[in-house]
Amino acid sequence: MAHDSIITSVLSQPDLFLLLGNRSYAEDFAKAGGRIQTQPSGHLVFYGPTGRRVLLTDPEGHPLHECEWASDAQGKDQFVSARMQLDWGQWVGIKPGHLVYDTHLNLSSRPGWEAITKDDLRTMAAHAMNVSLEQIQFFYRDEDIVIDPSGQATITQRKDAFYILPDGRFDQPQFMSCMTAMHWEHIDYLPVVELFLSLLPGTGSAAFELIRSLYDDQNPHHPLPLQYRGIPPYPSEGAFRLFSQFFTPWAPGGIDPLRLFLDPSRSEEVTWLPSPHPPLRYIDPPNHLGITVIQGKVVKVTQSTDPTGLSYFFPKPRGLPPCGRSVVTFDKSLILQDEALRLTVPVNDTWGISDVSQPQDYPASVPSWRSVFPNGVPQVTALEAYSAVLLYPEDDQVIGEQESQPFLFDYVDDLREDNPQLQTSIQSAQHVLIDGCDAALSACIQLDKRKNSTVLYRWGHLAQKQAQALWNQCARTQQWALLSTIQILTHQQHLKATPEQSYDLIYRWTPFELFEQPTLLEQTFASYMKQLTAGGTLIISGLPIFQEYARKLHMTMAYTEYVQQLPTFRLHQAILPKAKIYQDLMICIFQK
């Protein structure tokens, strides 16, 4: 398609400029003062009259992100919102500074409080968070701190919010995650997204594609060195890998940048400059593909109709890519390999792929992640598979069942280190039942050849995702035999297979709906006690009444605590201060 006709085609798309402030571009882009720039890769950048980008498309005009700008009271450009298309077709959005939280302090009880300044409060915060004063000054400006004449201090924190956009618009956004407020008009640091496990697949890459694009617009001649900043800092290997795709790290004194970055007290010492070859994305609607290319090599392909919810990755020099799914370019075609299944897709010249590699066969000795489902994988749609993340409310709505599970079972996993008796019970258990804990399986399953774990699932999309994570865990250690110690079933399949099985250890999630049915709730509790062997352990979500149930059955109460008091939930509240858990929900540990 000729260049001018591509632009004409792009501008004629009815669902292109959907952000509220961009409606005039949809009516007449040239008349609205827009201009278009073609990048060396063929990607098209559409700029508004003030020189700010409003749209990025691939060479054939498929949109990748759209930005909305406005003028503030001083007439300066202000970043209002952005939406980004993920590799599998879902749109997500960013609202800068959309989450606002106020912390109130009563200073009047302190002797000499009248002399306390904003910098004094910043110094206190730096000590409390164990970060540098410079970090606090960077995020908390003078307008964010107010001390009134009566000694009441108000400290305001702003965060950028990520949303899922079901229809590509902000009409019915669903909160997904957040991060420290960026200075989008002049990007001067790199952020880490909080609640990163809630991000839909590809959100991090799409967000950094936007960040790098705006950074390049703002620094056309002299690149600005950047540092990672966070309050508090949350450096991770995943964040380092993501940063490194778009920016090149440098550490002083020849220190390994990764090692320095992973030290929270020194993360900001790593300097990041723009990578000369950042990832380039392309959309292939006829084949439902999203393609990522770096320096002429296809590194990732995602098919939006794939019910596994998995991407294909270029093979590693050693080992297998995630879940053994690989993609290479051979004979002018993309070769997508999923175990024994091979799919071939013609390469589009606009993708700029020059690398040629031999397809990678899936080793016959390596079991499939599907093998943990003896009766077949759950029947889920591609949308359900790609959307298998835990989404938390941004306000004070009660957190849902799936999202509540990690608070309990991740805490139990941590509790083992400080509780020798619990550690022994879990380690010595040979027959384990994990019932309804689909969102926290990684904390419940102990990969051990001496154990046999039976998992009963309620939510197929989450069970499938957890099975894939287990495969990747075994891949890292090359202990494939451990997969054979796990079977994942529905309740009905389990009743048919082993109706009278007893277990040394049971993890049980109690559905919220049972809490409203006292008789059935007690009966269900008693049925689990019957499944325990003598000396066995039950780790269960419940209510205070469970302690009475246990006494009636002569069970030993080893541990109970309200979930709202657990450090795992407190950490979540540090990110989303309004977070609220189901009233009186507890973690209970009983022994028979």
- For residue 441, the SS3 value is helix
pLDDT at 5: 77
Q: Is residue 351 part of a domain?
A: yes
Query: What domain range is 27 assigned to?
Result: 1-71
Exposed, middle or buried by CB within 10 Å (0-12, 13-18, 19+), for 565? exposed
Of 243, 303, 253, 255, the residue nearest 279 (C-alpha): 243
On average, the pLDDT of the chain sits at: 93
Q: Is residue 300 part of a domain?
A: yes
Q: Is residue 266 part of a domain?
A: no
Q: Is residue 81 part of a domain?
A: no
pTM over 0.85: yes
pLDDT tens track for 147-204: 999 999 999 999 999 999 999 999 999 999 999 999 999 999 999 999 988 999 999 9
CA torsion sign for 209, 210, 211, 214 is positive
Same domain, 383 and 353: no
Structural domain ending residue among the three candidates 322, 338, 366? 366
Same domain, 487 and 385: yes
Same domain, 354 and 392: no
Same domain, 362 and 380: no
pLDDT at 12: 84
Amino acid identity at 135: Q
pLDDT at 318: 85
Q: Is residue 548 part of a domain?
A: yes
Same domain, 353 and 427: no
pLDDT tens track for 53-70: 999 999 999 999 999 999
What CA–CA distance (Å, rounded) separates 29 from 48? 9
**Dihedral through CA 435, CA 440, CA 446, CA 451, nearest 10?**
10
Structural domain ending residue among the three candidates 366, 396, 415? 366
Same domain, 381 and 513: yes
pLDDT at 3: 67
What CA–CA distance (Å, rounded) separates 572 from 558? 26
Same domain, 482 and 512: yes
Q: Is residue 196 part of a domain?
A: no
User: According to DSSP H, which parts of 142-294 are helical?
Assistant: 203-218, 237-246, 257-261
Same domain, 575 and 454: yes
Same domain, 325 and 466: no
Question: Which residues does the chain have with pLDDT short of 50?
Answer: 1
pLDDT at 532: 94
- How many independent structural domains does the chain possess? 3
Same domain, 362 and 387: no
Q: Is residue 175 part of a domain?
A: no
Q: Is residue 505 part of a domain?
A: yes
Q: What is the DSSP string of 143-184?
A: GGEEE-TTSEEEEEEEEEEEEEETTSSSSS-EEEEEEEPP-T
Structural domain ending residue among the three candidates 319, 337, 366? 366
Same domain, 343 and 489: no
Same domain, 362 and 377: no
Q: What is the CATH number of the domain that holds 484?
A: 3.40.50.150
Residues 441, 406 contacting (CB under 8 angstroms): no
pLDDT at 498: 66
pLDDT tens track for 295-316: 999 999 999 999 999 999 999 8
